Amino acid sequence: MKVNCDYPNDWDGEIERVEENGDTIVLVGRVFSKDKSESYHVVSFIKVRDGKVAEMDEYWADDGEAPKWRADLGIGKKIK
């Protein structure tokens, strides 16, 4: 998460949840611009070997408004 928050320009972030399952850590976080004009949620799947990150997959989602085609379906709900 520190790497995401130290990205060039003015970014900040917070960890919302961490789960461990064997050698895999699942991290849920939010990364946002310091002026709060942009916000993203990230889920990271981190595989650890010998105390070091061996593999990592991340999935990012924009916290902005849903696209019109999806909003027209009337599904889902706003997060926070």
pLDDT at 80: 62
With respect to residue 19, please indicate whether it lies within any of the assigned structural domains: yes
Phi, psi at 2, each rounded to 5°: -60, -40
With respect to residue 80, please indicate whether it lies within any of the assigned structural domains: no
Q: pLDDT digit of tens for each residue in the chain (80 aa)?
A: 565 556 667 888 899 999 999 999 999 999 998 888 889 999 999 999 999 999 999 999 988 888 888 888 988 776 66
With respect to residue 79, please indicate whether it lies within any of the assigned structural domains: no
pLDDT at 60: 93
Structural domain span for residue 27: 2-71
Angstrom distance (rounded) from CA 66 to CA 2: 28
pLDDT at 5: 56
Q: What is the CATH number for 31? A: 3.10.450.50
Q: Is 4 helix (H, G, I), strand (E, B) or coil?
A: helix
Please tell me the total count of domains within the chain.
1
Angstrom distance (rounded) from CA 2 to CA 44: 13
pTM score, whole prediction: 0.72
